[in-house]
Structure 1
């Protein structure tokens, strides 16, 4: 019993002495002593060549920053279109002992687009290096600013192919549906199945580029979209795909691929369904003469898919109606007159224009997929 008492007293004294010694210790502080200094750029001017995107373009080297206590320092290389760095763009982040970073033609071209430099015109790019400590980026210190002249090439935006249970094509990559692309925007009117998953491919195959939400839990190599509409989310337990949480129906799915923006939105179409008993052709086709009251019925061949066969002249123009009048059900070439192969509803379409040769052609309209085809027989 006495031994136990002595043991408890010994432990108590030891604890008190330990706490006292901790209070007597000096608090270690870390201060920034010297900022990083940009030492050298491997070039004073760059003319970027789209034919060699992987070729080396620029190497940046700098002198280390200094802190009062030895510690691991991180560096962020920033660029901007103005020397005040009103909107800095992060070119790269370097951790550890590295004091240099190399960039390819493609990386520098993307960076030039990111700060708004115009293609095919020499513009000034300002550059600096920021040192900091830890994930909280504390004690940040900025280097001097240097600059170089950069002539970018016209940026090529990726093509996007939708595939998955939420799409009308299913999970077969070879059947993935490509989006209509105009500059930085890609879009389509297509049916989405509520509660199902999908993803975007950059090609008609799994191997290669895949695009998903830039969020925690998604594979780093698939992270792309920085913002998305509320009816899209990352599926639980899935690190590759996107989940469509909206009501099943036809949506206008729009991707803005502008570097640094990279958004996706699924907005309900003004015509949210695709399955109609009959749809009609109206225009200078098969003697119709743009008479909506005499619009010509198409043949239903599948789920939202319709066909019509006719001879087509060199100046053929037509539209698709859901009634024999100029009513709410109205489809045509997406976003204006033309022959893109993509269907748009009333308010976002024009005439389908086709240069025929007087021969027989089959017109196929797929309202579920948002596409049309004109094939010579």
Structure 2
């Protein structure tokens, strides 16, 4: 009986101590026990390089442990937001149990670009660490805020849109021209035109809409542009055009182009072109044609000159010069020449 009483007494004491421990844990949070960020440091600059190995480390986040008054598992979320936004639309980079986290160049560039930082331009972002305990997460604490300067990049070619009568004057859905590289203003591309049109730049977030910078004809219709001009450019004859525009030199040119396929792989050999037909729905040039193994290429306006696509670069895009080779089985093929993506032209041959 004595032993039973002793055991009962010990369980009672253990229960009381456990209850006290739980109560102590509930009230152990200190308002000054949040993490402190060690890296990066306030004002640190990060210039992201598109030519560097994108798996290389771009940034390392490290911080001190938060203090919840008793040893416990803590989740740390790294939050990033546009500077001055008070983290109203923060992005969580990761949630970890450790007090450090690294990001490679590609991932970090994608994140800061998604925040709206323009490429090749220094912008600032705020970083903080949010700590929580339990499941579901409870008792959030926030670290100090660190502001860093970041210069992101883009591998996309800069573009301008060509809204006009040919597509209902709707900038978001307008065909695009692309420049040769970032910082260049030599835009070009292929567009079906039918009457008046303008050129329009994207806004800082890449959206094409009225109110952005636009260019119209200077009124002489001699290929000169004016910024934010009310006079539209004009293609008097509906058709497929090669369009170039230099928004620095303020010039533009439209050249009608009729594309065709030619070569030993085609029924007419190298003597005659077989014209492709523009598909307005797909914005591609198409044709069904009997092909046999042999060389061929695409050319414009039935002549050797400016419009000639005969080789494919390492990225799979058509380039001028040389010959393409058809080495499939002889038969009737659906041919598609896609020039709708400026400076990134492709083709396909599909057996019918």
In the superposition, the TM-score normalised over structure 1's length comes to 0.41
In the superposition, the TM-score normalised over structure 2's length comes to 0.43
